[in-house]
Every structure is written in C-alpha cells, then in structure tokens.
Structure 1
Amino acid sequence: MRVYISIDMEGIAGVTTADQAYRGGHNYPRAQQLITAEANAAIAGAFDGGATEVLINDAHGTMDNLLPDELDERATLLLGRPKPQCMMQGLESGHDVAMLLGYHPAANEPGIFSHTLSECFARYLINGETASEADVAILQAAALGVPVGLVTGDDQICQWVEKRYPGIATASVKQSVGQLSAVNLHPRRACELIRTTAGDTVRRLGAFQVPPVPERLHLQVTLQQPAHTEIVAMIPGVRRLDRLTVEADLATPDDLVALTTVMWELTP
C-alpha cells in the first residue's frame, strides 16, 4: 500500500501569520516544528491503516521546511524547488492514495492565507472556475489515476473540498477569522485528529473515486501588477486579455502546473 503526502504550511494548526509561515520570520523555526509534527501524525496514521510505503513532498514556499531528522523515519522525504510537478512532485500512478496536508483557501476567497500558488496572483481560474491549490493537486492526481483521500487545513478549504469533492475526507485544524488570524486546535489535538483521519483514509481506500480530467484546460490568471502581466505575456502560448489578466490553453494538468510555476518564478 503506497501512500503519497503533499504538505503545505499555511493550513497547519498554530500557523497564522507571515512571520510564522515564511522563511526569515522570527517564528518560522517554530512553524517548522509544527509542520513536521503534523507530517508525522499523517505518516503514523497511514501506517496504522496498513500503508507499506509513504512518500511525503514538502510543498510550501522554498519546499525545504520539514525537519528531516525529526521526521518519522519510516517515510521518504522529498525536498527542494523548483520541481516539475510542483506541489505534487513524486506522485506516481502506482500510488494507492494521496493526502493533502496543511492546505488553504484559493485566491480571492475567504480564509487564512488565501492564495493559489503565488500571492502575486489575484485570481486563478481553471475552465472559468476559481481553483485552489487543492483543486490543482486533485487534478494532477486524477491524471495519474490516483484518488485523493484526505485534505487538512482551515475550515474554509475543508468546506470547499467537501462541496466540490464529496467523497474526500477532510480534517479542519483551525477556524479562519481573517486573512492572517484563526482559532486553532492545540497542536497535539490537531495531530491526533490527523493521525485518526489518515488511518481511516487508508482503511477506506476503496471508497475514493478519481474525478474525470477535463479534455480542455483553460487557465486565466489575474496578477497584482501590470509589470508582472507584461512579463508573463511574453511566455509562448500566453495571451494578454487586459492590463492585469492573461490566459492560456493547456493540454494536460502537468502542462498547466509547469506554466503556473514559470509564471510564479517570474513574478516574485
């Protein structure tokens, strides 16, 4: 039983401010401990449920946030960026289930740290609908035939996933109050919840379905700055719609993620 985990930081219990979530902040080292603890809870839960192999991909920011020497040694850790599959790097068709930990709401939506892949993106739409990082990840997993069984984070992303993908389990570890504030579960309680739900996810593997992948992927991104739009519009295949918005048509989810990654790297 092969389990894949993608872990972000903004949806981790106890992480609510930029000072915590991003490298260089005074409280960032403590956030590294919190994200590692939730990672360990999910890993332990996966093995409780019958996993024989767990790969965890550090998917936040610089993608080297987890503390390797404090991570459950039964898991394999993927660190660093850039990565071709970005937040879902390492996922293969041979994985039995994927879990998304520490995720957060989409750009232009309510909830803590709401953004999609880059804070330079004011809006991020796939086929005309607002997409969160969870939506992108689920799309990538679907293209490989792998079901996503669990999403954890704040109440807003959990409600988003429950509405769009009714079969996926969720675990809310904090209730959003604003963009940079939330009512948090105690970290130990959050880890207990994640371990339990991760274990249940692996045990319920047959209950999860893979959503269909659209034949057409139309990406529309509204950026924060005109200069960023000008730069992104130079990428082959990208069309500028107005002062701040660009669009492109992509053949596969990996193509969509690759283009998004280039846009992200060009607009720091």
Structure 2
Amino acid sequence: MTNVYISIDMEGVAGIATMDQVVRGGHGYPRSQRLMTAEANAAIEGAFAAGADRVLVNDSHGTMDNLLHDELDPRARLIFGTPKLDCMAEGISAEHDVALFLGYHAAAGSPGVLAHTYSSHFYEVRLNGAIVSEAEVNALQAAAVGVPIGLLTGDDVICGVAGKAFPGVRTVAVKIAHGHTSADSLSPAEARRLIGEAAAETVRSAGELRPLDLPDVLELEIDMPTTPAAELGELVPGVRRIADKTLAATFATPREVLGCVTTCYHLAADAMITRMALYGRPTR
C-alpha cells in the first residue's frame, strides 16, 4: 500500500505573483484558489495513476482553508483550517511513504516570488546557523516520522534550494522569479501537466527515497520586525533575546521548532496591530 502526503501552499502556484492574489479579500484571490486547487488535483491524479492507495492533502497557506473542497479530487482527504499543531506539516505520519510539497516559495530575504518564511513579519529564520525556508523546516518534521520529500513545485529559486537540500527530490519550476512580485510563469495547464507527470514518477520511485538526516540539536534564530515584537517573543518559555530584534531557542525536535515559529509570528502580528492602533504606525 502506498500512502501519499501533500502539503500545498499558494505563492508557488503557476500564474500567481502578487500580494493581491494570495490574500483573502484580494481581487485576484478567488482565481488563485482555483489555480491552487487545480495543481493539487494534478498531483492527486498523478499519484493515483501511479498506484497510490491513499492521498492526504494539507492546505498550508495563510488561514489554511483556501482549497475549493467541492472541486478537489474526491479520492483525496483534506486537512484544513487553523490552528494546527504541525502547521504546514499537519497530518504527516509514519504511515506515509512520500511527501509532496506543492506551490512552495523561497525563504525570507531571498530573490524568490513572494519570498517569506511563515510570516511577512519575519526578516529571516535560521536553523543551526543556516537560512531556511518553510520547505526545510517542514521536511525536518517529515523526517521525524521517517517520510522523505519526493517532489517540490514552485518558482526556480525554491526549486534550486530543494534540489540541493532533499536527497533524490524531483522539482517542477512552474515560474521564474523576476522580482518579489513578478515572474515569468508557465501556463497553468502546462504546469499541471508537468506536476501530474512528476507526481506519478515520484510515487513509482518512492521506495528509493530517504528522509533528511535529523540533527541532534536544532538551534532556531528569528529576526523579528520590531523591538516590541522581539520583547513579546522573549516571553515565550525557552526563548531568549540575543540581539535587539533577534530571538533564539534550542530544541530537540522539529515539532518544537514549528510550535515556536507559529507562536512568534502570531506575536509579531499582534505587536504590529497594537502599535498601529496606539500610534498609527509600527514602531521600531
């Protein structure tokens, strides 16, 4: 029996490059929901065509309820909504043979389309001294339960990172980054064709893949946007402030990292909202 796990974000989907397209309420958001759902369906179809028995999809963008349920391939199960203990890796388990990361984007501070790491309120996130994207953190959570990453789709920047970071991974670059909110994109139809083919190939070769090696210790550092945000983050048990706007913590498991990151990005957002309400602008 082959069980497939899919984590799907929105910024790395073909035809998407602007904030208006990825924020609920934006003029382009409803179209992006359809594009995202169609790429999920392409991967689901490819997985089942290659012999998958079960496919679990985790909606991993923003409020995590973006996929159009009534248009999603009915053979797949869907996890949606927030909060989730494992965030973008919610639901992955030792029962899965391979994970597919769809619609992913590059890390904060990189030249990728709509690049950020979990939150636009973070300037940079590092693990054991290296800048990481959401893909690397989620891949570590997959590794914690023994699941390899078999496919990643997104822009050329994150695909280049994945090709070096994940052993044996296939990548589909559906667009080339021209800037933070500009891209040279494949047509959605062509992107879906390539994703379906890659998903099928990934499922067929799942037994040849291996998960990431887990480090014994995970040293997390987050550069927060403002001093007040860092002050709030310092209140989280186990978190220390090592510079004016930089938080650090030491963990043994990827799940602890995900929990800290999730807490800190909510605190950063709350700090920004509070300062805007009090002073009409964020403070440094």
Residue identity over aligned pairs, in percent, reads: 50
What is the alpha-carbon distance in structure 1 between the residues aligned to residue 99 and residue 57 of structure 2? 10
Name the structure 2 match of 1:183.
184
What do residues 80-100 of structure 1 show as CA deviations (whole Å, max 9, x unaligned)?
A: 011000001010111011000
Alignment of 1:205-224 (within 5 A): 205-224=206-225
Structure 2 segments unaligned to the other structure (5+ residues): 270-284
Name the structure 2 match of 1:7.
8
Contact 2:239-2:248 at 8 Å conserved across structures: yes
Match of 1:227, SS state, is: helix
What is the alpha-carbon distance in structure 2 between the residues aligned to residue 96 and residue 209 of structure 1? 10
Name the structure 2 match of 1:17.
18
What is the alpha-carbon distance in structure 1 between the residues aligned to residue 167 and residue 90 of structure 2? 25
Name the structure 1 match of 2:238.
237
Off by >2 Å, runs of 4+ in structure 1? none
What is the alpha-carbon distance in structure 1 between the residues aligned to residue 209 and residue 30 of structure 2? 36
Alignment of 1:186-197 (within 5 A): 186-197=187-198
Task: Name the amino acid aligned to 1:108.
Answer: G
2:174 maps to 1:151: no
What is the alpha-carbon distance in structure 2 between the residues aligned to residue 180 and residue 10 of structure 1? 10
Task: Name the amino acid aligned to 2:29.
Answer: Y
Name the structure 1 match of 2:58.
57
Name the structure 2 match of 1:70.
71
What do residues 165-201 of structure 1 show as CA deviations (whole Å, max 9, x unaligned)?
A: 2411101100000001100100000000000000000
Match of 2:123, SS state, is: strand
Name the structure 2 match of 1:111.
112
Contact 2:87-2:258 at 8 Å conserved across structures: yes
What is the alpha-carbon distance in structure 2 between the residues aligned to residue 266 and residue 215 of structure 1? 28
Per-residue deviation, 1:241? 1.0
What is the alpha-carbon distance in structure 2 between the residues aligned to residue 12 and residue 6 of structure 1? 13
Aligned residues: 268
What do residues 49-89 of structure 1 show as CA deviations (whole Å, max 9, x unaligned)?
A: 11010000000000000000000000001110110000010
Name the structure 2 match of 1:39.
40
Match of 1:135, SS state, is: helix
Name the structure 2 match of 1:80.
81
What do residues 209-249 of structure 1 show as CA deviations (whole Å, max 9, x unaligned)?
A: 11210000000000111111111011111110111101000
- The two structures have a TM-score, normalised by structure 2, of 0.93
Name the structure 2 match of 1:161.
162
Q: Computing the radius of gyration over CA atoms, which structure comes out larger, 1 or 2?
A: 2
Aligned-CA RMSD value: 0.7
Match of 2:243, SS state, is: coil
- The two structures have a TM-score, normalised by structure 1, of 0.99
2:140 maps to 1:139: yes
